[in-house]
Amino acid sequence: MAKIQFHHFDGSTDILEVPAGTSLMRAAVSNGVDGIVGECGGQAMCATCHVLVHDEYLALLPPISEDEDEMLDCTATERDPNRSRLGCQIEAGGLLDKIAVDLPESQV
Ligand code: FES
C-alpha cells in the first residue's frame, strides 16, 4: 500500500491509502477526491489531473515524457516549472510509498 496526501487549494487535505501501482489520478477519482478530473482516463491527453508535487518527492518521480511535457503546457492553472506533473503519469508505490501533492485552483 502507498499513502497519498492531496492538499486542496482551500487548505483542506485528503489522505488515501492505495495499492502500489495506482496512479494519483486513479486514486483520486476512485475515492471521490475533488480537484482532479481525469477526463481522458489517464492517457496524458487532457491535463485535468494536474498536480504540484511537494519538493521532497521530486527526485523520486519518473522522468517527464514528451507527451506529458506538452500537456503540462495546457493546464488550466499555470504550470510550475519544477513541481507540475500529470497525476495520471505518477504511480504511488515502490520508492514513492508516500507522496504529497498540492491541487491547483482549477483543472478546467
Ligand atoms: Fe488526462 Fe491525466 S487524466 S492527462
Tell me the residue type at 83: R
Q: Kindly report the pTM of this predicted structure.
A: 0.97
Q: Give residues with Cβ within 8 angstroms of 40, minimum separation 6.
A: 46, 48, 88
Q: Indicate the top mutation candidate among 22, 24, 25, 103 to test ligand 1's pocket, ranked by most ligand atoms within 8 A of CB.
A: 25
- For the chain, the domains span 2-102
In the DSSP assignment, the letter for residue 103 is P
CATH of 2-102, one of 3.30.1330.60, 2.102.10.10, 3.50.50.60, 3.10.20.30: 3.10.20.30
Q: How far is the CA of 6 from the centre of ligand 1 (A)?
A: 16
Ligand 1 surroundings by CB, under 6 angstroms: 25, 38-40, 42-49, 71, 86, 88
Helix (H, G, I), strand (E, B) or coil at 58: helix
Sign of CA dihedral 79, 106, 10, 43: negative
Q: How does pLDDT run across 69-81, given as a tens digit for each residue?
A: 999 999 999 999 9
| Beta-strand pair 84-86/98-102 | unpaired
What is the predicted pLDDT for the residue at 49?
98
Helix (H) or strand (E) holding 70: helix 66-72
Q: How far is the CA of 2 from the centre of ligand 1 (A)?
A: 21
| Whole-angstrom distance, CA of residue 88 vs CA of residue 6 | 14
Q: How does pLDDT run across 27-49, given as a tens digit for each residue?
A: 999 999 999 999 999 999 999 99
